[in-house]
Amino acid sequence: MTGNRKIYCIAAIVIALAFFVACNRTLEGTPMGATNFHEMQVLGRADNTELLVRGYTTQTTYPLIVEQSDGSDVFDVTNAGIVRASSTGVFNALIISSTSELNGDITLENDETLSNVTDGIVTATVPANGWLAVAGGNLKVGNGTPDTTLNGEDLYVEGTLEVDAASRFDNVMDVNSTASFDYAVVAGWLDVTGAITGASTLDIAGNVSSATGAFTITDDLNVTGAADLDSTLNVDGAATVNSLDVDAGNITLQNDETIANSTDGEVRVTCDNFVAGGGHTVSTPNAGTMVGGDTNTTNAKWSFIGGGYSNAITVTTPNDDSRYSVLCGGNDNEITATDDEQSLVGGYSNSIGGDAAHTFLGGGYDNGIAGTSNSGVLVGGATNVVTGSWASVLGGLSNVAGADYAVALGRRATVYDEGSFAFADSTDADFTAVTSKTFNVRATNGSYFGTGGLHAYVDAVAKTSDYNVDDNTDTGGLFTNQGASGGGVRFTLPGAVEGLNYCFYVFATNMITVDVQSGDQIHHLTNSAGDCITNTTEGDSIYVYAIDGTYWVPMQEVGTWNDGNGG
């Protein structure tokens, strides 16, 4: 074939190929060799565009589509220049060389993207429940050299690591410089050489050790294990630590409260209010201390509640009322007094109120110190009341010490007069002191006073006729002539025996005569042995006591008792 004919043949083949492409016809390749062939091969030439696909001006379909043999897409190129894997296509590998450039985003199978919308920032976007995972090896940020060997699935950050949400560390956490967090959970140990600064809660399931730098948490600290600190611990919120060992420095809490051990063997807590255990409410600065118990409340300045349940020191003016007060134990007890230094110990439903000051109430049920009582004391019993100053109720039921210097005890003993004492036996009836500065006793079965050999049994006996006083059954008795008439009543004493004692009271205006046995004498009032004494004045009385086997001595004498010259 001549040269011109060869040229004509080649030109005809090119024209035919262009015609088939223009008509959307498929050009099927033909094997170009025995063992290695291509359907279509473009052999490049230097400094030329090797393959150019140009869309039409009104192009809507993708200008380039690569398909599988079954017609399914592998990938395509959109009119915007985005290379996109189809729904069934998969890039087995995407390799970008050091000189390659990607101006758009990379979109992965489930719409995860890698983008660089802002210069210098690469953003990975995954669904909320998705992962950005490093399947093997280590993740290193920065050009620094790790102090420890990264041996797989490790993270090294040369600069700052900021975590705004919860953080969890399942093994040891070493902090050599400063660590700041908003919320962190450490399941293992926390070993701190530098500083810990927390804006929120730090939960540690293991132990904290060797914190030689500052340790500051602005919210809560929860340590399930032990905390061994060589420096200062500052916690602005709640601190829950199983065991805490501070070798140097203090523990500083939210409002500059401190726990210090500046002196060996001494732990000093500096704070406005101190609460240890139980469920309590302290509602006023400088309101004091509460230890143990449950549901106790105080708002009084420098007060103390120890144990018990539902006890309260509650005042209207916290800085002025019931300061320095103490309430220990019991249930539903309350101090509401407007003055200072009250003490209430134990019992149920007891109260100190009113303008009471410097008072003490110990135990019992439904007892109260009130009014203007100053330095009043109420000890036990039930439904007792003290309203007087320097007054006391010493136990019993429903007693009232309602005057200054009053003392009441027993059952329903009442004192409304200054300086009086009232004792009432178990009789269920009111017993009231008759006037001020009196000793008042209700003893239905009589009264007995004994000290060594002295015995006085007070039991009033009225006689209207002469009577021989018995040395056994009558000793300590009180005898009167109530109801007698005529010449009066003669009382003859038994023979003097040390310790015998009797009292005689002139009730009627007729005479009382007190006679003795022959050989005995009433000392001082009679001239000789065997003489008697007499008195006719209503209201006079005499108390005689045998000091030996001869003499009776007048221990208490009211009025004039005359020597009767033997009768």
Q: In this predicted structure, what is the pLDDT of residue 444?
A: 77
Q: In this predicted structure, what is the pLDDT of residue 452?
A: 47
Q: In this predicted structure, what is the pLDDT of residue 32?
A: 43
Are the C-beta atoms of residues 487 and 475 closer than 8 Å to each other? no
Indicate the burial class of 436 (C-beta count within 10 angstroms; 0-12, 13-18, 19 or more). middle
Are the C-beta atoms of residues 382 and 367 closer than 8 Å to each other? yes
**Which amino acid is it at 491?**
F
Q: How far apart are CA 474 and CA 468, in angstroms?
A: 10
Of how many residues is the chain composed? 567
Low-confidence ranges of the chain (pLDDT < 50): 20-35, 88-90, 92-93, 96-100, 451-456
DSSP state of 384: -
Q: In this predicted structure, what is the pLDDT of residue 401?
A: 96
**The two three-digit tokens of residue 75, written as one number:** 């990938």
Q: How far apart are CA 330 and CA 307, in angstroms?
A: 8
Beta bridge partners of 269: 259
Q: In this predicted structure, what is the pLDDT of residue 276?
A: 61
Q: Which of 319, 294, 324 is CA-nearest to residue 306?
A: 294
Q: How far apart are CA 271 and CA 441, in angstroms?
A: 52
**The two three-digit tokens of residue 407, written as one number:** 């003392």
Q: In this predicted structure, what is the pLDDT of residue 246?
A: 61
Q: In this predicted structure, what is the pLDDT of residue 420?
A: 94
Q: How far apart are CA 12 and CA 410, in angstroms?
A: 139
Q: In this predicted structure, what is the pLDDT of residue 34?
A: 44
Q: Which of 317, 319, 376 is CA-nearest to residue 351?
A: 376
- At 18, which helix (H) or strand (E)? helix 3-22
Q: How far apart are CA 554 and CA 502, in angstroms?
A: 10
Q: Label the pairing between strands 64-67 and 166-169.
A: unpaired
Q: How far apart are CA 237 and CA 190, in angstroms?
A: 19
Q: How far apart are CA 490 and CA 475, in angstroms?
A: 17
Are the C-beta atoms of residues 156 and 140 closer than 8 Å to each other? yes
Q: Which of 365, 370, 360 is CA-nearest to residue 348?
A: 365
